[in-house]
Chains A and B, each alone.
Chain A
Amino acid sequence: MSLLEIRDLNVRYAIAGRVKAAVAGLANRYIDAVIDVSFEVAAGSTLAMVGESGSGKSTLARAIVGLTPFASGSIVFDGSNPFATGPHPSRAYHRDVAMMFQDPVSSLSPRRTVEALVGEPFVIHGLGNRNLGAEVRRLLALVGLPADFAGRYPHQLSGGQARRVGVARAIALNPKLIIADEPTAGLDVSVQGEILNLLARLQAELGLTYIVITHNLAVVRHASDRTAIMYMGRIVEAGPTAEIFAAALHPYTAALIAAQPNPDPAHRRSGPVLTGEVTSLRNRPRGCEFHPRCARAADDCRELVPAAIGRGPGHTVRCHHPLA
């Protein structure tokens, strides 16, 4: 059963006010960061949202938690619409959906102790009259930190420890869904494993559902059930993770997988698989956004935006000429 269901979500940013747009003769004073995004996340599963900078994956996450208003579309969480009353979701939704931000240290308020940081969700939601100290110690133990960390400040923590504090904060209110923005960014390889293992353990113990936003495909392959790949605001391919890695359908997905550095010096790639860079969102290409960089691009790609087509159970691709 789906815990979260997103239908045709669009998020746009105004780049100029009405007056400025009129004076400068801008036809479109918005840039579209997320376009017609639809997906579902099954309860207890992990969805990986993959994309490069500018793909709109972080904007999408912010829209889901209610930090960025969305222009159109619907979000249904656990059978109800948390945005029914306006752009600010209900308090219950804030309890049920927790977000972990990218930078492990700077997502913690610098002048507060670990105890204050981990206890803060309770205070915000009026649950502070419980025995906060005991609650904080329980959470710290759950994420594998000794109780004496409660008195430390964020700058006294290593990246991995700060990330654990972030996890403790995220799970404090027993959420159903955790959205993790680059949970392993900035961490050493050996620490990345610890954090991913911790997230996997908590998922099993607490029945959590995850959306993991990342550009690190090695992480995706190990940590997710389903994967969605975004390019310039659209989901270009979505499907079971194993299937995507075994047989990618979209040329961009294939290029992304091939671009991963090969950690075996005996099998070096001869050259980059993908040339050029992501086009600026201000000059969105006509037709398929990927066509300027795509080796398979044909005339229809330059004219028509491809629709999402189904290829096998739960696997969709937005491409006129998919790889299979």
Chain B
Amino acid sequence: MNGKVLDIRDLSLRFATSAGPVHALRNITMAVPSGEIVGVVGESGSGKSTLALAVMRLLPGNATVTSGAIGFGGGDLLTLDEEAMRALRGNRIAMVFQDPMTSLNPVRSIGQQMVDIQHRGRASPAEKRRKAAAALKRVGMPDAESQLDRHPFQFSGGMRQRIAIAMALVQRPELLIADEVTTALDVTLEAQIIHLLRELRADIDGSILFISHNLGAIAEICDRVVVLYAGEVVEHGPIAEIFSHPQHPYTRALIACDPARISTATRELPVIPGDVPNLRHVADGCIFQPRCSVAIAKCAAERPPDRDCGAGHVARCHLVPEGLP
């Protein structure tokens, strides 16, 4: 391991809405070490997609970053001008979305689109096309050369997601952001895409930020996990640590809720009572305290510190003893 590809420090941002500001991300500190797959897991409203868009600097106009830095390639992405950011997107940072149809242009052939995204390269058109075919081949597209002239609608959903991944990787980015890339797919296809990403990672020595609400998918592919709850990182650490020794009550509850992890069939599944908090008014204490089954008085009054649990495992909870390792 040799440093961090992505290094987010103390990132906070809010959205202006007609009903007042929504503090969507608060003091996010996380990193993607070079060559590792880092999972970001969270439920709806946790801010995981906002985080991805913040890294890409593709946030909607009503978003304001109020603090922090997004370190990438030695600089801070937040200080780059729009021109420099455009040069980065697709070249050094690429993103794949949940629905490949939204990122593929329906009226251009996939070959044209894959040549288009190499527009900054100096290679000849034939060379670019060859590169496009090679990228398609790498994602398991059979008969890649002849597929270049087909249009997105002529492919199935699984194949389209492979094409989207090929397009993202054609410029060999240093960081790939995968936002819910398997969510819209059937289970057998999801397994194939996860396997593909694992293969590609060896291929390109790429670092991947893998965003998902699906604990199973995270467990299958990631090296490290960041657990996001209501705009805060509540716990992060190596995958095995998080799944086998979760320290934060939210992480524990989330893992306990996954029906795939409950081995005996039951009609009474565990749930997390209560609702996600309203991020217009963020309370003083722990953000999870109103739903926490083990909360103590301190949790409502005082913001919990990040407690080190050893081996790069950190949980933001009063109940984790200090100096554990």
CB of B200 within 8 A of chain A? no
Mark interface residues in A261-289 (1 if CB within 8 Å of B CB, else 0): 11111101101111101100000000000
Chain A neighbourhood of B253, CB < 8 A: 190
CB of B205 within 8 A of chain A? no
CB distance A196 to B215 under 8 Å? no
CB of B43 within 8 A of chain A? yes
Interface of B is mostly: helix
Report how far A271 CA is from B140 CA in the complex, Å.
14
> Which of A3-11, A211-219, A303-311 contacts its partner?
A211-219
Chain A neighbourhood of B270, CB < 8 A: 193
Residue ranges of B at the interface with A (Cβ–Cβ < 8 Å) = 43-44, 156-159, 186-192, 194-195, 213-217, 219-220, 222, 239-240, 243-244, 253-255, 257-262, 265-272, 275-276
Interface size on A, residues (CB 8 A): 42
Pick from B188, B258, B265: contact of A221, CB below 8 A.
Answer: B265
CB distance A263 to B215 under 8 Å? yes
CB distance B268 to A265 under 8 Å? no
Chain A neighbourhood of B239, CB < 8 A: 265
Pick from A197, A259, A264, A265: contact of B271, CB below 8 A.
Answer: A197
CB distance B267 to A261 under 8 Å? no
Mark interface residues in A244-268 (1 if CB within 8 Å of B CB, else 0): 0000000000011001111111101
Chain A neighbourhood of B255, CB < 8 A: 263
- Return A57 CB to nearest CB of chain B, in Å: 12
CB distance B216 to A53 under 8 Å? no
CB distance B188 to A265 under 8 Å? no
Chain A neighbourhood of B258, CB < 8 A: 189, 218, 263
CB distance B243 to A189 under 8 Å? no
CB distance A262 to B216 under 8 Å? yes
The residue on A at minimum CB distance from B192 is: A272
Pick from B187, B191, B215, B268: contact of A269, CB below 8 A.
Answer: B191
- Return A288 CB to nearest CB of chain B, in Å: 17
Most buried by A among B191, B217, B244: B191
Most buried by A among B214, B261, B267, B268: B267
Would A215 and B187 be within 8 Å (CB), given that A261-B194, A262-B216, A272-B195 are in contact? yes
Chain B neighbourhood of A113, CB < 8 A: none
The residue on B at minimum CB distance from A271 is: B195
Would A263 and B243 be within 8 Å (CB), given that A189-B215, A273-B191 are in contact? yes
Mark interface residues in A121-158 (1 if CB within 8 Å of B CB, else 0): 00000000000000000000000000000000000001
Chain A neighbourhood of B159, CB < 8 A: 277
- Return B257 CB to nearest CB of chain A, in Å: 5
CB distance A194 to B271 under 8 Å? yes
CB distance A218 to B259 under 8 Å? yes
Interface members, chain A 201-217 (any B CB < 8 Å): 215, 217
Our count of residue pairs bridging A and B at CB distance below 8 angstroms stands at 129
Pick from B44, B189, B216, B267: contact of A188, CB below 8 A.
Answer: B44
CB distance A222 to B266 under 8 Å? yes
- Return A155 CB to nearest CB of chain B, in Å: 14
CB distance A197 to B268 under 8 Å? yes
CB distance B195 to A268 under 8 Å? no
CB distance A277 to B260 under 8 Å? no
Report how far A265 CA is from B244 CA in the complex, Å.
9
Report how far A215 CA is from B190 CA in the complex, Å.
12
Chain B neighbourhood of A74, CB < 8 A: none
Interface of A is mostly: helix
Pick from B186, B189, B192, B216: contact of A263, CB below 8 A.
Answer: B216
CB distance B260 to A265 under 8 Å? no
Pick from A52, A159, A191, A221: contact of B186, CB below 8 A.
Answer: A52
Report how far A146 CA is from B280 CA in the complex, Å.
23
Chain A neighbourhood of B194, CB < 8 A: 261, 272
The residue on A at minimum CB distance from B267 is: A200
Would A242 and B265 be within 8 Å (CB), given that A222-B259, A271-B195, A277-B156 are in contact? yes
Report how far A70 CA is from B22 CA in the complex, Å.
50
Report how far A82 CA is from B176 CA in the complex, Å.
55
Report how far A223 CA is from B268 CA in the complex, Å.
9
CB of A241 within 8 A of chain B? yes
- Return B235 CB to nearest CB of chain A, in Å: 15
CB of A59 within 8 A of chain B? no
CB distance B265 to A264 under 8 Å? no
Chain A neighbourhood of B190, CB < 8 A: 259, 261
Chain A neighbourhood of B215, CB < 8 A: 189, 263
Mark interface residues in A172-202 (1 if CB within 8 Å of B CB, else 0): 0000000000000000111111101100100
Chain B neighbourhood of A192, CB < 8 A: 257, 259, 269
- Return A54 CB to nearest CB of chain B, in Å: 9
Q: Identify 4 new A-B residue pairs, CB closer than 8 A, beyond the known A197-B271, A262-B216.
A: A158-B276, A193-B257, A259-B188, A260-B216
Chain A neighbourhood of B276, CB < 8 A: 158
CB distance A261 to B275 under 8 Å? no
Would A190 and B257 be within 8 Å (CB), given that A158-B275, A242-B265 are in contact? yes
A-B contact pairs, 14 of them (CB 8 A): A52-B186, A53-B186, A189-B258, A189-B259, A190-B257, A192-B257, A193-B269, A193-B270, A200-B268, A215-B186, A256-B188, A260-B187, A262-B220, A277-B156
The residue on B at minimum CB distance from A255 is: B188
CB distance B267 to A217 under 8 Å? no
